[in-house]
Amino acid sequence: MRSKSDRQVVSRLVLLVLVLFSLAASSAYAQATAPTVESRLAALEAKANAAPGIDSGDNAWLLVSSALVLMMSAPGLILFYGGLVRQKNVLGTMMHSLVLMGLVSVLWVVFGYSMAFGDGNAFCGNPFQHFMLRGVGVDPNPDYGATVPAQSLCCSR
């Protein structure tokens, strides 16, 4: 039977061998797979020069955050303005808020998107360029959202 000191010596030797083996293996792996500076620079230039496409993560985040804002805004405005009036006028005030949100949404589709994102001067865009969302499709707008479709950008505003 081994003594306690013999077992400690053996365990320390085994630990030392494992550490040396892992160091040798990691240095051999690092030498075998280390890319050169030129290859790293070429990969970086290729990535920078590549045309950005639609990023599904950006699009998903934009649509989810748009849905959350819509679910927050409608009840928030309705309850806020409903709380400012007497009890007998609450329903009428709530309906005013709901109808006006619908009207503003229709105005956005008809003229608003075009005036915000259409070609024009520094103040506003051409209101007939994207009239009724004409020409707004799945292609990204490189000036405003190069990685999301223009339709998603329209919904988020």
28 membership: H or E segment, kind and range: helix 4-33
Can you give the pTM of this predicted structure?
A: 0.62
CB atoms within 10 A of CB 112: 18
Lowest mean pLDDT among 23-27, 88-92, 118-122: 23-27
Question: What is the tens place of the pLDDT at every residue in 92-151?
Answer: 999 999 999 999 999 999 999 999 888 888 888 888 899 998 988 888 888 888 889 989
Q: Report the pLDDT value the prediction gives residue 89, as an integer from 0 to 100.
A: 93
SS3 126: coil
Tell me the C-alpha distance between 88 and 100, whole Å. Answer: 20
Considering only residues 30 and 79, tell me which one the structure prediction assigns the higher pLDDT.
79
